């Protein structure tokens, strides 16, 4: 029953995306511009330490995370609009599972973000990105990105349920966009000042970025992979629980 409800509502949300493909394009524009800027303007002046290969190879994982952070902002925005438009109340008057409406937004976010990620990778390939990684390594990359996207999407659901305005809902992702700048996404952490380096090495983005980079560069993963998985699963579980509680409170208040 719940799977059928989720499937029907997800199709509805995906139709909205298909009617406005500019949403996905807009989501991908900022990361692509950053990719071009850092590779062609700053890339020649950035020292990546022991990393071998083009700077685009080093940079790509961080840009992928920024792509997801940009995309989930639209999830909280669309969720807020549905709440303000009374869509949720109309759905609840029908014989459907209450949580299906949230899952539909989450799965739509996952599909839209995966499309944006593919666009960014295609641009990176045109810029010279190359990888000799095998299918298993790329499946691991996709798996981590799916977990990361779901984690941020459930956090975006909380923002969409709690926001008082459309700007507040859409602005949820702004702090997330800055996290990669305080990580190993653009430069190695070794050259950072003490407190900044400590924060960079202990926040989730660094372990996730390093894991993605090592996977497609065919390098040993070390403990970063387990740390990255722990962050993704932990944030996903926390976001899901808090989102469901916020949803119940919001619907009870209505």
Residue pair 153/75 in contact by the 8 Å Cβ criterion: yes
Mean of per-residue pLDDT scores for the chain: 84
Per-residue pLDDT tens for 141-157?
Answer: 999 999 999 999 999 99
Q: Is the pLDDT of residue 209 over 70?
A: yes
pLDDT of residue 75: 84
pLDDT of residue 231: 95
User: Vertex 127, ends 68 and 66: CA angle to 5°?
Assistant: 15
pLDDT of residue 190: 87
Q: Which residue has the higher pLDDT, 68 or 11?
A: 68
Averaged pLDDT, 181-210: 91
What is residue 96's DSSP assignment?
Answer: S
pLDDT of residue 1: 62
Percent of the chain topping pLDDT 70: 88
Averaged pLDDT, 189-211: 92
Per-residue pLDDT tens for 72-123?
Answer: 888 888 888 777 776 666 666 666 666 777 888 889 889 889 988 999 999 9
pLDDT of residue 87: 65
- Identify the domain containing residue 174 by its residue range: 2-253
Q: Which residue has the higher pLDDT, 169 or 139?
A: 139
The distance of Cα 111 from the centroid of its chain, to the nearest Å, equals 11
Is 133 strand, coil or helix? coil
Q: Is the pLDDT of residue 3 over 60?
A: yes
The DSSP result for 200-236, as a single string, is HHHSHHHHHHHHHHHHHTT---TTHHHHHHHHHHHHH
Q: Is the pLDDT of residue 254 over 60?
A: no
Taken as a whole, the chain contains a residue count of 254
Is the overall model pTM greater than 0.75, yes or no? yes
pLDDT of residue 63: 94
pLDDT of residue 88: 63
Buried b (16+ CB within 10 A) or exposed e, 204-221: bbbbbbbbbbbbbbeeee
Per-residue pLDDT tens for 237-253?
Answer: 999 999 989 888 876 66
What is residue 47's DSSP assignment?
Answer: -
Q: Is the pLDDT of residue 19 over 60?
A: yes
Per-residue pLDDT tens for 23-72?
Answer: 667 777 888 898 999 888 887 777 776 666 788 999 999 999 999 998 88
The count of structural domains within the chain is 1
Is 125 strand, coil or helix? helix
């Amino acid at each position: 029953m719940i799977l059928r409800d989720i499937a029907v509502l997800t199709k509805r949300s995906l139709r909205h995306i298909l009617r406005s493909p500019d949403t996905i394009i807009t989501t991908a524009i900022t990361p692509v511009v950053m990719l071009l800027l850092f590779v062609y303007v700053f890339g020649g002046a950035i020292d990546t330490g022991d990393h071998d290969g083009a700077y685009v190879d080093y940079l790509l994982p961080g840009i992928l995370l920024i792509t997801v952070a940009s995309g989930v902002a639209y999830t909280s925005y669309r969720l807020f609009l549905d709440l303000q438009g009374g869509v949720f109340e109309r759905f609840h008057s029908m014989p459907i599972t209450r949580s299906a409406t949230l899952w539909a937004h989450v799965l739509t976010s996952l599909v839209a973000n995966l499309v944006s990620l593919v666009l960014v990778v295609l641009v990176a390939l045109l810029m010279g990105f190359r990888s000799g990684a095998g299918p298993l390594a790329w499946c691991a990359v996709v798996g981590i990105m799916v977990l990361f996207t779901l984690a941020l999407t459930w956090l975006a659901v909380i923002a969409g349920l709690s926001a008082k305005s459309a700007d507040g809902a859409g602005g949820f992702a702004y702090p997330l966009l800055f996290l990669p700048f305080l990580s190993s996404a653009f430069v190695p952490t070794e050259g950072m000042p003490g407190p900044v380096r400590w924060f960079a090495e202990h926040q989730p983005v660094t372990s996730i970025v390093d894991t993605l980079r090592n996977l497609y560069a065919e390098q040993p993963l070390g403990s970063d992979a387990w740390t990255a998985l722990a962050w993704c699963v932990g944030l996903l579980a926390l976001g899901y629980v808090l989102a469901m509680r916020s949803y119940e409170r919001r619907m009870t208040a209505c």
